Structure 1
Amino acid sequence: MLPAEALPAWARKYPAAWQLPFAAWISSFTKWLMDSASFGLFTVRDLTRAISWLLDQPLSLARAVFATGFVRGQGSDAVTVFPAIPWFSMVIAATAAGYAVGGRRLALGMAAGLLYLAVFGQWTSAMVTLASVLVSSVLGSIGGLLIGLACVRWRWLERAAAPFLDIAQTMPVFAYLLPMLILFGFGPVSAMVATVIYALPPMVRVTILAIRAVPEEIEALGRMTGCTRRQITWKMLVPTALPALMVGVNQVIMLSLNVVIIASMIGAGGLGWDVLTALRSLNIGKGLEAGIAITVLAILLDRFAQALALRAGAVEAEDAARRRKAFVSSALAIAVAFWLLTALFPAIAPYPEAWKLSTAPYWGQFVSWINVTFFSTLEAIRTAVLLNILVPVKRFMLALPWPWVVFLVTAIGFRLGGWRLALTVGLMAAFPALVGLWPATMITVYLCGVAVVIAALIGVSIGIVAAGRPRLWRTVEIVIDTLQTLPTFVYLIPIVMLFRVGDFTALIAIVLYAVAPAIRYTAHGVSRIAPELIEAGVMTGCTRRQILTRIRLPLATPEILLGINQTILLALSMLVITALVGTRDLGQETYSALAKADVGRGVVAGIAVAFIGMIADRLVSAAAAGMKARRGPPQ
């Protein structure tokens, strides 16, 4: 590459005169939309506030049932008309529901998880979060199902919706919190809408795949029997695809829980607010307990949704179904009776303070002990990584001429997928320069790239080791499930206390959060190689290492690449969170825009982050598809 001095000034730094003021345009449009746009009898503001009021009804109902009770009046004049469901009634009802869909094991798990929330003083916040997640999940699932069915019916709609789904999945939630705030006002409704937008795309994609996977004979039978299109859809296709559709519902629930902390910034409250306040005060104990409570809630909802998916395609004996129904009905009747009892005797509703436990002080003391005892070692590690890896890579990325980067991305796209892919990724690569965000984009790419390389090295190695060892894999799976369900903000609290703010802290948090897909996809790819190929290698005298390097890994490379693709997307989503610990990348741009109420700046920075993820996704997917095509169908 030519030295920087030999390049023209416009190649070293994108000229300000060439920049397009997308941010100003978006901000101006938003201001016009809310202040002046109208539909004759009512304005856009009237419309969005009406939608906000409409969406607030199910959310307020859910909050009243689970957390606040039914209240008349406001402020000091508020009077509780009927209490929220007490903890013991909730435990009984959830245990019965768990038994109904998953048997004794799920019932015990539901009871243990909810009791944990009560014992550790997280009940009220957990119920606020549960109410928001349930309403968001229902809206996201129904909306995703309807959009997915429409895309199945009209192929042009699927092609038109694909870019919006990609952007919704890859754009940081910070970027569209502010537009939601302006459109729907400060409060839980705005947070819920942002959550639905973030969680809806997987349901759309799962619906498209599930409906198209239904055998054609079923639809043909419906036409032969005279069913209308609506009857075929709702009475034949959807019921047949229900087990697969429940996987999409599960994804909606998990993604909804994933943004509860971010949503708390605009009034969602609940456990997310507890974690956020703990991060701001560096209270590791409080933050960890609230974070674990979110994890427990996520595990309970995940297991329940999985059980529903399995039960959707199961057939149960009539006698067993009758006994199960009788047991569940009795348990629910008892739960309702206890709930009514708390209306007469409110003092019995709260979980007794004397029974509560807390590990918060011990976690804080433990981290403080590590900090004091191993300060020199930790500081040496931090300094070594900064000086030998992070700083050199950062300087290298910032020194790259923007035309060279755009050309390289375009050339790779052409090599992997032809002119269409080359044009797509080339335009997306040029976007940060066009809007004046090139330095922040290069910092994002540098930090995300280093984190992905480290996560891939760790994840692929662990996946290879665990693939052929079932006991080890069960342990690894528990660890990575916990890493994926633990709220992103929770990673930051102990790391900040140990290493202070900066790029190194962000790097550790990103690696921890993004390593799971690399492990999972590698283990899946390595373990699914046909036994006949392994036997052929053994018969030809290959050693264990040769079987791994010449048979397993080459054949598993497409799956490993897909895992790395998911690692990149998770790293980008976590990178935005790490803006809170001092990074100066696109994540900081979106967070600063939220703090300054600058809609255009936040949206443009979010689109730039989304384009980085989409470039990686397109290139890695094209590479994996090419490898699969060259490998041919499995024998």
Structure 2
Amino acid sequence: MSVQEVVLAPFESLPMKFRQWVWLCVLGLAALSLASREAFPWVLNYPTGWLLPVASLVNGLFDVVVPILTPICRSLAAVLGAALNVCSSALRWMPWPAMLALFALFGWLARGWRLALFTAAALGYIVAAGYWQQGMNTLSMVVLAVPIAVTLGFLLGVAAHSSKFVRSVTMVMLDLLQTVPAFAFLIPLLLLFGFGPIVGLIACVVYAVAPMVHCTMLGLGHVPTALLEVGSMAGCSRSQRFWHVVLPTAKREILTGINQTTMASFSMVIMAAVIGGFNDVGWEVLNAMRKAEFGQSLLSGLVIAVLAMVVDRITFGLAQGRSEVRSTRLQAMVRTLMLTIVPFLFGALLHASPSAMACIDKVQGIINPDILNRVVLGLVHDFSVPLDNFKVFVLYHFMLPLRIGLISAVTPFTWGFAWTPQINAAYCVLALAGSAWLWLSGRWQLAIGLLVTSALLLFGFNGLPWLAFILVVTALGWSIGGWRLALLSVVGTYFVVATGLYIPLGQSLYLCLLAVLICMLIGGLLGIAAAKSDRVSALMKPICDTLQTMPQFIFLIPALMFFQVGELTGLIAIVLYAIVPPIRYVEHGIRGVPRDLVETSRQIGCTAWQRLIHVELPVAKPVVVLGVNQTIMAALSMLPVAALVGTKDLGQQVYIALSKADAGQGMVAGLSIAFVAMISDRIMRATVSKTGNIPEA
């Protein structure tokens, strides 16, 4: 029996009537709080006197700890700073033709001539855009951060694999590392290490450890027991068995972990540009965005994108290996010699010839950003009227009702009519009648969903009383995952409410909900099309790969360019970042439907539409639900980045705390997002475990 079955066993034995009565009590208390929110304002707004002083306690703790740890941290910062200077100086010393040749050779070793050609073209763009020095500074931080993160992650993964206690502690730590916003890491590190690129470097290491730990644990856990027994029977000691049996077997997963760690480091380095102090590409992007130089931001943003794609494809190719290459030892030595000596000799020859260096440097910056700025501004000006109309329509008819509710959003100015008491009464009667009909017909879960959805649409996330929110989320967690998930739900929701972040939480939830709905609609349709057509699948694969390798910053640029600062800009950026999981999971789920089941549906006369609705999507439901979960996680992780363009949610609270170096408020806001992410993740995973098994990818 699995752990999930053990957790759910006591709950599953409860009578259905009992669960229905529990939900009736929860809905009754929620309705009572909604009805009394005007008479008793504390029902809607959590009283100030009841707030928990968590932020003050954290700040007090840092006031004690920071003076003690500062000398040690500053010494470590000096060592890392010297290493960073050496690394960046070495990369900048290499002339761009030599470095381009070096990367192209790495690409050839990783995946062949196609990747080598792509690498040369991508790095050539960086040269033409005039960001070669900044790109090398960014790359130097990644080059320094990855070995540290890989080493720490590998050691922690081995320890977690060997000890159940370490594993349980590690899993909790990984949950926090993967759900607490990256910006929240920067605040305590800024207090300990001071202003500068070292803070970004250390935050990069902390953020990038998690994938390496996961992949190491996965690889070590998949080593067959029979193989371990063979090693023991052969007389291997414990260390010999680890180095000669376990590690070679887990090599593929560990190398994949290095690839994922590299990409996580790359993403975090760009985000660390917010604190400044380093002439890298992230700082150029941020400056261009602040000055509204959209052409410049596009150029620098594409530099980040191509750097990330080159690093991702090379490291992934080296991790997977080229099956068609069977090298002798001599061939391997020759390739190593080429990689290590030839490009450096080429670079030394170029440095020895100042005229040659001056000639090749003329290529840098040949792309004029001013022309692109004028083109972009011209496009924005030409399409300003339809863009403004679209922005107003989405804000008034979708975003505002979810935020403040139909009862406040529907006015003659926005919708052309007022939300009168008669309309309100008809709306409530229809919602109650529909719920009663569903309840009496035995579909009481749908009835509850209809009631909760109707209340959210009527009052909005900002108009929902905090007590009703806690009760509904806790009841949902209990219904799906049992008492453990209910405990996490009540603790997490109460923490957010009791720390004074309930209003920003409502903003976050409505933005994430709308983004997830848009992603599932558009991404689901694209995923269905990709599952039905190999040609569409082949077209979507490079697009999804590109979107997954681009750092989060980049998604702000097109949204900011056309819609300026505001919540719609943040919503579009979140959608662009989170749309990949539904595309891939829907395609994978539908393609995983057994062929005999599809053939049977054809033989009984089902049309393609009937087969999709009644056969393929129901069978693919576990995978699709898991895709929804990943979409929610991606949307939540994008909130702090979207705060840069004016969203007023939990992400903005983290960003404000970062600007003030307020560790307490930053940690509280970061933990609030982490609680929301963990509750959502556990609910969706419990739903998947009830729905059925997930087919192997």
TM-score (norm 2): 0.83
Classify the secondary structure of the residue corresponding to 1:605.
Answer: helix
Which residue number in structure 1 is paired with residue 134 of structure 2?
125
> Distance in 2 between the 1:272 and 1:451 partners?
25
Identify if the C-alpha distance between structure 1 residues 368 and 419 changes in structure 2 by more than 3 Å, giving closer, same or farther.
same
Q: Does 1:333 align with 2:333?
A: no
| Aligned counterpart, 1:610 | 674
- Separation in 1 of the partners of 2:355 and 2:676? 55
Asked if the contact 1:518–1:563 (Cα under 8 Å) also holds between the matched residues in 2, the reply is yes
Map Cα deviations across residues 202-223 of structure 1 (whole Å, 9 max, x no partner). 2111111111101112222222
Tell me: CA distance 1:150–1:349, structure 2 relative to 1, closer, same or farther (3 Å). farther
Equivalent AA in structure 1 for residue 403 of structure 2:
K
Task: Please tell me whether the aligned partners of residues 219 and 236 of structure 1 are also in contact (alpha carbons under 8 angstroms).
Answer: yes
* Partner secondary structure for residue 259 of structure 1: helix
1:229 to partner: Cα distance: 2.4
2:119 aligned with 1:110: yes
How far does residue 483 in structure 1 lie from its aligned partner after superposition? 2.5
CA contact (8 A) 1:188 1:269 kept: no
One-letter amino acid of the counterpart of residue 288, structure 2: A
* Deviation of 1:374 (Å): 2.2
Partner of 1:284: 294
Equivalent in the alignment of 2:177: 168
Equivalent residue, structure 2, for 1:47: 72
Residue 313 of structure 2 is matched in structure 1 by 303
Alignment of 1:28-427 (within 5 A): 28-35=60-67, 37=68, 44-67=69-92, 84-266=93-275, 267-311=277-321, 317-319=326-328, 322-323=330-331, 325-330=333-338, 332-346=340-354, 348-349=356-357, 351-354=360-363, 356-358=365-367, 360-395=369-404, 396-427=460-491
- After superposing the two structures, state which structure 1 stretch, 131-140 or 4-13, moved more: 4-13
Structure 2 residue 461 is the aligned partner of structure 1 residue 453: no
Instruction: Provide the residue aligned with 2:15 in structure 1.
Output: none
Number of residue pairs matched by the alignment: 607
State whether residues 529 and 552 of structure 1, in contact with CA within 8 Å, keep that contact through their aligned partners in structure 2: yes
- In the alignment, residue 329 of structure 1 is paired with which amino acid? L
Distance 1:497 1:111 in 2: 29
Query: Where in structure 2 are the equivalents of 1:480-495 lying within 5 Å?
Result: 480-495=544-559
Q: Which amino acid aligns with 1:245?
A: I
Question: Deviations for 1:150-178, whole angstroms, at most 9, x for unmatched residues?
Answer: 10000111111212211111111111111
What does 1:612-631 correspond to in 2, within 5 Å?
A: 612-628=676-692
Instruction: Measure how far apart 1:328 and its partner are.
Output: 4.7
- Mapped to 2, the partners of 1:131 and 1:355 lie a distance apart of 20
Superposition pairs of residues 553-564 of structure 1, within 5 angstroms: 553-564=617-628
TM-score (norm 1): 0.91
Give the CA deviation at 1:342.
4.4
CA distance in 1, matches of 2:64, 2:366: 53
* C-alpha RMSD of matched pairs (Å): 2.1
Distance (Å, rounded) in 2 between the aligned partners of 1:138 and 1:418: 41
Say which one has the larger Rg. 2
TM-superposed CA distance for 1:259, in Å, is 2.2
Residue in structure 2 matched with residue 475 of structure 1 by the alignment: 539
Output the amino acid matched with 1:470.
Answer: D
**Partners of 2:338 and 2:155 in 1: CA distance:** 36
Q: Percent identity?
A: 36
Shift of 1:269: 3.5
Runs of 5+ in structure 2 lacking a partner? 1-30, 405-459
1:328–1:162: structure 2 CA closer, same or farther, 3 Å change rule?
closer
Equivalent AA in structure 2 for residue 326 of structure 1 = V
Please identify, of 185-194 and 342-351, the stretch whose mean Cα deviation from structure 2 is larger: 342-351
Offset of 1:327 from its aligned partner?
Answer: 4.6
- Residue type matched to 1:271 in 2? V
Q: 1:192 to 1:441 in 2, by over 3 A?
A: same
CA deviation vs aligned residue, 1:9-47 (integer Å, no higher than 9, x gap): 432221212211111111111111122x3xxxxxx2222
* 1:77 matched residue in structure 2: none
Moved over 6 A (4+): none
The letter for the 1-side match of 2:155 is: L
- The one-letter amino acid paired with 1:588 is Q
d(CA) in 1 for partners of 2:589, 2:207: 29
Q: Which amino acid aligns with 2:381?
A: V
Residue 72 of structure 1 corresponds to which residue in structure 2? none
Separation in structure 1 between the aligned mates of residue 187 and residue 357 of structure 2, nearest angstrom? 38
- Where do 5+ consecutive residues of structure 1 fail to align? 38-43, 68-83
Q: Which moved more, 1:419-428 or 1:7-16?
A: 7-16
Contact 2:131 2:365 in 1 (8 A): no
Letter in 1 for 2:156: I
Map of 2:651 onto structure 1: 587
Look up the equivalent residue of 1:334 and give its one-letter code: V
2: CA distance, partners of 1:277 / 1:499:
18
CA contact (8 A) 2:220 2:247 kept: yes
Contact 1:291 1:487 in 2 (8 A): no
Task: Write out per-residue CA displacement over residues 123-172 of structure 1, whole angstroms, 9 at most, x where no aligned residue.
Answer: 11111111111222222222111111110000111111212211111111
Aligned to 1:26: 58
Cross-structure match for 2:664: 600
Query: 1: distance between equivalents of 2:526 and 2:620?
Result: 15
Inter-partner Cα distance in structure 1 for 2:131 and 2:36: 56
Q: 1:15 aligns with which of 41, 47, 67?
A: 47
